[in-house]
Amino acid sequence: METVSEMTYKYGIEEWGEREGRDLDHARQLSYQSILQETNCHWELNGKITTIASVLDADKELPIIGSL
């Protein structure tokens, strides 16, 4: 959970810069919700998470993937 939260937070900083209300706690909440909703996927190498992806819209015709 903590690794996914940190990766989500770092992605947000890189993509949009610092924004009010988008701190590490916010990333934790987003990560927790995406895990509960099963819209978060991660890949591991040698037991470490190396990549994450979140499904932002599960439309079967045109899904949107974010936080890659």
pTM for the predicted model, two decimal places:
0.73
Report the pLDDT averaged over residues 46-63.
82
- Other C-beta atoms closer than 10 Å to the C-beta of 35 total 15
pLDDT digits (tens, 9 = 90+) for 8-37: 899 889 988 888 889 999 999 988 998 898
DSSP state of 61: S
Confidence at residue 9, expressed as pLDDT on a 0 to 100 scale: 92
For residue 63, give every residue at least 6 positions away whose Cβ sits within 8 Å of its Cβ, in sequence order, or none. 55, 57
Confidence at residue 15, expressed as pLDDT on a 0 to 100 scale: 87
